[in-house]
Structure 1
Amino acid sequence: MEGGDVPPGYVCLVSCDRHEFLIERKYAEVSKLVKRTLESGFGEALSRRIELPTVSKECLLLVCQFFYYRIKYKDVRGPKPEFEIPLKDTVDLMMASDFLDA
């Protein structure tokens, strides 16, 4: 899909190492940065492709998984299953979460 059209209802998140993640917009908008970008009217909003120059593909994979987790368990009352984060990825994921405002 590199450089191609993003299907309606989806967003393409691009890692610093150029790996592309196609994700439904409703999940990607867990990130306030992504939501604001898509509502901005700028080029990224029109193309629905958002470059994330500080986020590696390994970290972005975890971020996308977290977006799905957040939506899936958003309305669940009571205990939720833990979102497992490999110890080696903790710092990178925290930095990405801060950058993405998620």
Structure 2
Amino acid sequence: MTAVKSLIGRAARKIAPETMRTLEYAAGLRQQGGRLHDVAQRVDDLQARLDLVEHRLAEVDDTSLAVDELRRDSLRIAELTDLVVTTLGALSDAPAGSEPRR
């Protein structure tokens, strides 16, 4: 029985350092796994932010086009208003029953 205990003791002493290294390695892997999860979460967050920025950029591009269209429409309205005012002025200057000047 003493020989068996001695044999088990020697085997345990030989195995113990490897077991400790294995446990340390496993702990390191767990830490890396946790870090990888954090990194993956951050990548997902950054991707969501990038999508939002691209969406806002598209809105800004649409806005500048809309502003240009509004400017063109304003110029058209000003031209039509000028034409109407000029025509009304010509009608009010013309004697009754005559054709307006063009």
**Normalised-by-shorter TM-score class:** under 0.3
Q: Which has the higher helix share?
A: 2
Length-normalised TM-score, structure 2: 0.22
Q: Which has the higher contact order (CA 8 A, sep 6+)?
A: 1
Larger Rg: 2
